[in-house]
Amino acid sequence: MKEDILNTAAEMFLNYGFKSVTMDDIAEKLGISKKTIYNHYSTKSKLVLSTSHHIFEKINTGIEKIREKQQNPIKENFEIKRFVIHHLKDENTSPHFQLQKYYPKAFESLKGKQFQLLDNCISDNINRGIKSGYYRKDLPVDFISRIHFVGMLGIKDVNLFPVEKYSHSKLMDYFLEYHLRAICTPKGIETLEEILNEK
């Protein structure tokens, strides 16, 4: 039952936002009483924390499977982007912003986990890209990894990038191209252009 609650809450939070969805909504969707949910999660804040970590773990597992393929580092970036967009349902309800505004403890807890994952993922991708000649040899890997993380957080700021004007998938497209054009060698740019022309 706990897993069912997590999966349903995750889907509803991503579709409608953390603030908008009530415990009553989740109970109704599951066809159970609200009391049953409270037996597992004593407050909505605790459910939000567990759900955000649950979503993170699912995404983390998927990203690790993509990384295990050890494919061309530029193509890997695009495959990870597609996977994340698919699992975050394009985030048009701004769950990231709502989590930050209404559940700051859950947001900060998740941010630390996200940084660890992204830092490891991006650093590995850059190092492989340098070795295979797709990325420039002179890159400050730690700096690029951190600036990438800051950029990924920044494009989720709905005050800077209102959802009426920018879809999350379009922002991720722009940001990924911006990131890759800054670090690619001519060989890497050629691969990037091929991928962009396939779209």
pLDDT (tens digit, 9 = 90+) per residue, 135-170?
Answer: 999 999 999 999 999 999 899 888 899 888 988 889
- HSE (CB half, 13 Å, CA atoms) of 87? 18
Domain that holds residue 82: 51-198
- The count of other CB atoms within 10 Å of the CB of residue 138 is 6
Handedness of CA 64, 68, 73, 75 (dihedral sign): negative
Q: How far is Cα 194 from Cα 81, in angstroms, rounded to an integer?
A: 17
Quote the pLDDT of residue 95: 78
Q: How far is Cα 52 from Cα 13, in angstroms, rounded to an integer?
A: 9
Quote the pLDDT of residue 96: 78
Quote the pLDDT of residue 29: 95
Mean pLDDT by 10 residues, the chain (199 residues): 93 89 96 95 95 92 95 96 82 73 90 89 96 98 96 90 88 96 98 92
Q: Which of 56, 48, 148 is nearest to 98 (CA)?
A: 48
For residue 64, being part of any structural domain is answered with yes
For residue 75, being part of any structural domain is answered with yes
For residue 16, being part of any structural domain is answered with no
Residue type at position 157: D
For residue 44, being part of any structural domain is answered with no
Q: What is the CATH number of the domain that holds 140?
A: 1.10.357.10
Query: How many folded domains does the chain comprise?
Result: 1
Structural tokens at position 166: 């920018």
The answer to whether 135 touches 184, Cβ cutoff 8 Å, is: yes
Q: How far is Cα 101 from Cα 64, in angstroms, rounded to an integer?
A: 29
Quote the pLDDT of residue 86: 85
Structural tokens at position 39: 């037996």
Quote the pLDDT of residue 185: 99
For residue 94, being part of any structural domain is answered with yes
For residue 186, being part of any structural domain is answered with yes
The pTM (predicted TM-score) of the whole model is 0.87
Q: How far is Cα 151 from Cα 135, in angstroms, rounded to an integer?
A: 19
Size (the chain), residues: 199
For residue 111, being part of any structural domain is answered with yes
For residue 10, being part of any structural domain is answered with no
- The count of other CB atoms within 10 Å of the CB of residue 123 is 16
